[in-house]
Structure 1
Amino acid sequence: MRNPVSDKIVNIPFSGIRKFFDIVSEMKDAISLGVGEPDFETPWHIREEGIYSLEKGRTFYTSNAGLKPLKEEICRYLKRRCDVSYDPEQEVLVTVGGSEAIDIAMRAMLNEGDEVLVPQPSYVSYVPCVALADGVPVVIELEEKDEFKLTPKKLLEKITERTKLLVLPFPNNPTGAIMEKERLEEIAKIVIEKDLFVISDEIYSELTYKDQHATIAAIPGMKERTVLINGFSKSYAMTGWRLGYAAAPKVILEQMLKIHQYAIMCAPTTSQYAAVSALKNGDGDVAMMRESYNQRRRFLLNSFKEMGVDCFEPMGAFYTFPNIKRFGMTSEEFATELLKKEKVAVVPGTAFGDCGEGFVRISYAYSLESLKEALGRIRRFVDKLDGKV
């Protein structure tokens, strides 16, 4: 029988995040610190707006690009929070999560053989999405000594004549690194000089613990070169609502809309109505959740310090990326043994790129009570490795 599946798809690996999540889901008394999903319920006023939209029978398709009131609120939000202006009619597209926006942006922008610079460690979808769009992923390995930031030197080293696109994954999953405005200005200068474009994944923009989030799109000369991607999953605890958006120049967005039109039709109607309330009335909810995450962040960093585990201080998102190299184990071995012996699931750093070797990702999108229990188990595991027990 003829092979029924695509070679290209077969060669794309499954997510390294899901492996440990699937194991822990069937393990009694296990604690998972592996999934990047807020433990908060979606704020009531957002849920209420979704319920109200159903009661009013708003169950039909919206326009392909999204509800006009939602696109207008997105533009107000981006102006208010990021000081960048977009036209809601021509420069905003509502998508099924930020992940769809990443996928269709790459498919809309890349020709076969175009190179895409992907800083790693980073979110697991970027490299597969490049492959799906027939592009060539070129990894830029970020380092702990640089606070996992993208430096001009590292960027310039990887640019070739075939380079078209740079992915900017900040605040970063898995490291929690951020890029301040002055750092982005250095990158923007190179992007303009080399005539590149940027996909800026800013899904964690509201979870920044140092100053306010900065976007490269607000830097002069960069809006016309940037696809800004964001959404509602992380900031508003709306993962299951599956709603994101892209803000981009009309020439790019029109092509993204074409793919979205044929593959998706439109994002979920109920979710779109709920998201209007999130943007209009959700600043207080975001601030409350951010403060809670910050408390957990400080708790984890202090715990690592007490147990003698080095950990770069993350200033964004809700992850820590402790360095486990001193134990003489690979990231996979450390995560596997921790799960087996202490029933705590973390994600090997290699799930986010080869340069993640020697690190593990620990999410603090869990209650403080769960984190305290999990960190107690990790401390016991580390003490045994150090011969203290």
Structure 2
Amino acid sequence: MPALPDGAEAPRDGTLPETALRGLGERPFGVYVHVPFCATRCGYCDFNTYTPGELSTSPESWLDGLRAELDLAARVLGEPPRARTVFVGGGTPSLLGADGLAAVLDVVRSTVGLTDNAEVTTESNPESTSPEFFAGIRAAGYTRVSLGMQSAAPHVLRTLDRVHTPGRPVAAAKEARAEGFEHVNLDLIYGTPGETTDDLRASLDAVLDAGADHVSAYALIVEDGTALARKVRNGELPMPDDDVLAADYELIDATLAEAGLRWYEVSNWAASAEARCEHNLIYWRGGDWWGAGPGAHSHVGGVRWWNVKHPARYAALLAAGESPAAGRELLSVSDQHLERVMLELRLADGLALDVLDDAGRREARRSATEGLLDVDALAAGRAVLTDAGRLLADGVVRRLVG
């Protein structure tokens, strides 16, 4: 996905253009909550996170800010649609404990509200979970847990600076299921320098042993400014190899498919329609969401904005009655078209051909003859990536949008 621009200045009261509010409630609406706290920083991570020694603010002041921001959301949106999904990410939300996460969900309920049977997800580090933790968040109303596993190989975890023990994610997933969670996701990262095919097979075996009904698998990206990037730049580690990444992806897809988990987005597999992450589908299908917390990003009706990153600045702005937004962008018609093609094409049900112009449809037909788009789906009016097309998804998007 392209990097966000610097954007325009966001209004201090957080108001949105009338055009953005048209149709509000007709589109799916979710809430993302960013928890910026981590016990340690992983070498590959460039997310907006802070370790205890880097902050003078507390989780309590962050929660006060969250409440103030979601009160602001309710005012800005007028009569906001109740959230169909909530996703608490980070950072390490499980560091808040079950009581802290229950308080987060109470804030969402008391401000924008939740629909009946809302999907409510929290990310968790396996090391900061327990049966009591899972029982507590299940009782609070969470319906889904996403656990950071990354790998089952100890040397791969060391390269990534992950602190959890290799067997803990599997144990945590089983504990979550035992405490009533029907939907448990495990995250994998593949292509780490030093990871072998046998290492990846062992990780996939562990995922399947855990009984997770959803798996997310992402190729390692060396992000500028991270400890991993410095090691690559200094020659301590090699860059991930594109051919290895492609072979790894094919192994992941084949192994999960054989076990009954089918891809529904290029990097996500689910055991059933019910196991899919509805919150992420809001992103991929161009819905509306309010991102609350330091550095969180939001989108409503073609307007995208992002919050200041530092928790102290975030809390101070909200305490002063101001929006924490650092900048925003009004997406043009062409911007929205590009994003729709880019995101919907990544889904297993693909993109309607009538979204494309004449040149795009010609490119779709050419891509089908080259084995990148499914021929039968194209005849039925949809552009759907083939197995080969998934490996070249970004290139296919560039073709379709010219």
TM-score (norm 2): 0.26
Considering Cα pairs closer than 8 Å and 6+ residues apart, tell me whether 1 or 2 has the greater RCO. 1
Q: Relative to total residues, which structure has the larger strand share, 1 or 2? A: 2
